[in-house]
Structure 1
Amino acid sequence: MIKRLIIAVILLGLVVGGIVGFNLFRSKMIGEFFANRQPDPVTVSTMEVEAGGWMPGIEAIGTARAKQGVELGVETPGIVKEIRFQANDEVEAGQILVQLDDAIEQADLAAAGATLNLSEIQLERQRTLQARGVTAANDLDEAQASAASARAEVEKLTAVTRQKALRAPFAGTAGIPQIDVGQYLPTGTVYATLQDLKAMRVDFSVSEQQGRLVRIGLPVTASSEVGDISLGGRVIGIEPRIDPNSRLVTVRAEVDDPGASLNPGQFLRVRVELPAEQNVIALPQTAVTSTLYGDSVYVVHEEGEGEEKKMTVEQVFVQIGRRSLGRVEVTGGLSPGDTVVTAGQNRLFQGAPVRIDNTIDPTAAAFEPIGQ
């Protein structure tokens, strides 16, 4: 019985020892395999760092406005007698848009005209008598004053009558009528809008730091995703006062819109083109990786020659500056001639082997002008 127990213990020890030995052997072999295994090269796109031209700009959000655009209001109260326009009509300057009832004013004007005629006749008679010396001087003065008063009354009633005919202050496109025939309109009632769509302006705001860079005449590009619109223009006005609440400066630009593609109030993205600069190192934004530790890029290094030639990457931290049109300015950390990875860096690590494939440039779309 004891012999059997001893034999069983010995067999159990051999089995356990074999299992432990096998696991140790397997772990050692796996470790040696991964220690000697070279990772497969990562396919990346690259570009050579070079100093070149930089087109700085200021980007902002703007609102389209007509060069001339108003809300048409009523100058004097009255009842709408006739509406002489429809929505989107092209009207001329001085064209009557709405006629208010002016029957009373016309009657008063006719009465004032009759009074003026009588006053002028009496004045002429007094002048004739004065020439003959048969009338007093004060009679002529009274006749002149009466004629002047009658003439002023006619001019006043003529002006009131004209106010009953609501005219377009300039040529443009009329909006939707906001009134109906027979409706009583108090003073100041808005009855339509009028917009001159032949010339458009864009109002936008920039920070007070950027406002110091903006100058009259600088080129501007206004674009919109709606209709794939991109229009050029120039800065025509800079508000001299900084808003004390937002600390923003209002800027106005005039854009060329021969196709009347913009509408007043439309949302636009605006870019003010600043003077070009030279000898600036700039990379696509896709080449720069930003983390809590800073901004970095992967620089490709070549090792060996011939068949032994290998390419590996080094993570280099850089200092970045301005951003513009999908590019970022690098102010430190790189030198002209360095080869930088522009795509594929999500699989890279320090010293990783790489294979370069620049047949497709993933950054090209970032530099295409809007609308292309």
Structure 2
Amino acid sequence: MRIFRIFIIAMVLLVLVVVVGGIVGINFMRDYGTKQFFATMKPPAATVSTTIVKPSSWTPGVEAIGTANAVRGVELTVETTGIVKDILFHANQKVAANGVLLQLDDAVERADLEATKAQAALDQTSLARAIELQRRGVGSDVTLDTARATASASASQVNKLQAVLDQKQLTAPFAGTVGIPKIDLGQYLAPGTSVVTLQDLDTMRVDFSIPEQDLPLLKIGQTVKLGIGGSDMPYAGTIRGINPKIDPSSRLVTVRAEVDNTEGKLTPGQFVQVRVVLPQENNVLALPQTALTSSLYGDFIFVVHPAKVAEAAPAAKPDEKLPAPSADKSVADAAKPAADPAKPAADATKPASDAAAAKPADQASADPAKPADAKPALVLSQVFVKPGRRNEGMVEILQGLAPGDEVVTAGQNRLFNGMSVAVDNTIDPTKSANKQATEQ
């Protein structure tokens, strides 16, 4: 009985050892298989957009920031004191040259003018009488000179009072658009009080500054493109003036351009982007600016190229010796019956093209895992380049690229050298999303 118990205990222990060992072994094999799977697993190919590098025409330019102003614009003020009697304009009204905008109270000045005109008429009559008496020989020269001086003084006084009366009116010095009135009816105005702004919006001038090293590239009459925001520059003008002096503190040169603004889209005081167009150049390698990445080590791009042949399964060399057939294979070959002499005549009737056509099919069926139209794998190469000028979302590449290279233009996040990629050019990063949606 004691031996039987010992035997039972030993069997139980053996079963436990086997179960525990099996569990440990299974876990070990599972962990080892998982590690091997992730160690040999290739990361999925990243999707990128690309473009082919090719020589193209390049229109260089000098870019700057400017401020738009009306070619003629003033703040209208009154010249004399008075109370506002009538406001003859409203905000954003287009007025003609010499049009009356404001009328001050001029009752006193008009009364003085009428009295002075009456006195001037009397003095003129006295002058005529003195001239007639002098002609008859009964008048003296002194009387005639006095009458002539009095008449001249009266006429001058009339002109003076008329000028004072005209100052009670505010007129537009040129045709343009007025702003918001700054005065009210009945308000007392002192000389120099600002009433309203007057701007001629048909033509705008843009003042901007460029570095002194770009001064030799500019000349009077060059075309200038302007934009309010973004990459579009829909407005065009010409350079009208270049300051002959360089600012010694900033090393900048002030340039003035004039732009037609008949549509009224530009506003005085507005911030604008300016680009002076220079002569066109040919055979320039340029890329979208999205393709260029800047880092502490320099500027670089990613070039896409097919994976090297060495990464695929190596093929047998022509001079490589084939292994000798095994004994079983030799016996099997010896057991094959001899060729039937009657068959060659029938096989000879088959054209050689059938055999040639059958050969590619046999080769294609030899590897069913690879489809016939499978594209070669694509990998990345990180290339450091030397960028140059920039223009309308494009950047010039001076060194590091060659025509025909396929460069990544979008999707550079988390890319690295030698990484597998897939190309998807359905989205062009050089165009805005709204523009692409419209084209589709």
AA of the residue aligned to 1:365? S
Higher alpha-carbon Rg: 2
Measured in 2, the distance between the counterparts of 1:199 and 1:247 equals 29
Measured in 1, the distance between the counterparts of 2:151 and 2:191 equals 32
In structure 2, the residue corresponding to 1:131 is in which secondary structure?
helix
Partner residue in 1 for 2:421: 354
Give the TM-score of the pair, scaled to structure 1.
0.82
Partner residue in 2 for 1:204: 208
AA of the residue aligned to 2:121? N
Measured in 1, the distance between the counterparts of 2:375 and 2:116 equals 110
Contact 1:229 1:261 in 2 (8 A): no
Tell me how many residue pairs correspond in the alignment.
Answer: 357
Does the alignment pair 1:311 with 2:378? yes
The 5 A counterparts of 1:213-252 are: 213-225=217-229, 230-252=234-256
Q: Which runs of 5+ in 1 are unaligned?
A: 1-14
Following TM superposition, by how much is the alpha carbon of 1:50 offset from its aligned partner in structure 2, in angstroms? 1.6
Following TM superposition, by how much is the alpha carbon of 1:77 offset from its aligned partner in structure 2, in angstroms? 1.5
Higher mean C-alpha deviation, range 132-141 or range 310-319: 132-141
Q: Out of 158, 171, 174, which is 2:175 matched to?
A: 171
Partner residue in 2 for 1:57: 61
In structure 1, the residue corresponding to 2:381 is in which secondary structure?
strand
Partner residue in 2 for 1:94: 98
In structure 2, the residue corresponding to 1:347 is in which secondary structure?
coil
Identity %: 54
Measured in 2, the distance between the counterparts of 1:176 and 1:362 equals 45
Return the structure number with greater strand share: 1
Q: Out of 276, 286, 289, which is 1:285 matched to?
A: 289
Higher mean C-alpha deviation, range 283-292 or range 356-365: 356-365
AA of the residue aligned to 1:337? G
Contact 1:216 1:237 in 2 (8 A): yes
Following TM superposition, by how much is the alpha carbon of 1:162 offset from its aligned partner in structure 2, in angstroms? 0.9
Following TM superposition, by how much is the alpha carbon of 1:150 offset from its aligned partner in structure 2, in angstroms? 2.0
Measured in 1, the distance between the counterparts of 2:205 and 2:55 equals 37
Partner residue in 2 for 1:146: 150
The 5 A counterparts of 1:28-107 are: 36-107=40-111
Following TM superposition, by how much is the alpha carbon of 1:164 offset from its aligned partner in structure 2, in angstroms? 1.0
Following TM superposition, by how much is the alpha carbon of 1:38 offset from its aligned partner in structure 2, in angstroms? 4.2
AA of the residue aligned to 2:286? A
Partner residue in 2 for 1:363: 430
Following TM superposition, by how much is the alpha carbon of 1:51 offset from its aligned partner in structure 2, in angstroms? 1.8
Moved over 6 A (4+): 25-32, 305-308
Deviation digits for residues 55-112 of structure 1 (CA, Å, limit 9, x no counterpart): 2233333333223221110011222222222222332222211111222222222232
In structure 1, the residue corresponding to 2:285 is in which secondary structure?
strand
Does the alignment pair 1:332 with 2:412? no
Following TM superposition, by how much is the alpha carbon of 1:28 offset from its aligned partner in structure 2, in angstroms? 8.0
Q: Out of 176, 184, 195, which is 1:191 matched to?
A: 195
Give the TM-score of the pair, scaled to structure 2.
0.70
AA of the residue aligned to 1:338? D
Deviation digits for residues 104-126 of structure 1 (CA, Å, limit 9, x no counterpart): 22222223222322322222223
Contact 1:67 1:200 in 2 (8 A): yes
Does the alignment pair 1:297 with 2:301? yes
Higher mean C-alpha deviation, range 186-195 or range 105-114: 105-114
Change (3 A) 1:26 1:210: farther
Partner residue in 2 for 1:345: 412
Q: Out of 133, 158, 165, which is 1:161 matched to?
A: 165
Higher mean C-alpha deviation, range 228-237 or range 60-69: 228-237
Measured in 2, the distance between the counterparts of 1:317 and 1:225 equals 32
In structure 2, the residue corresponding to 1:232 is in which secondary structure?
strand
Following TM superposition, by how much is the alpha carbon of 1:322 offset from its aligned partner in structure 2, in angstroms? 1.4
Deviation digits for residues 11-55 of structure 1 (CA, Å, limit 9, x no counterpart): xxxx9xxx9xx98x9998777666655444333222221221112
Partner residue in 2 for 1:121: 125
Partner residue in 2 for 1:3: none
Q: Which runs of 5+ in 2 are unaligned?
A: 1-19, 313-371
Contact 2:109 2:164 in 1 (8 A): yes
Change (3 A) 1:128 1:190: same
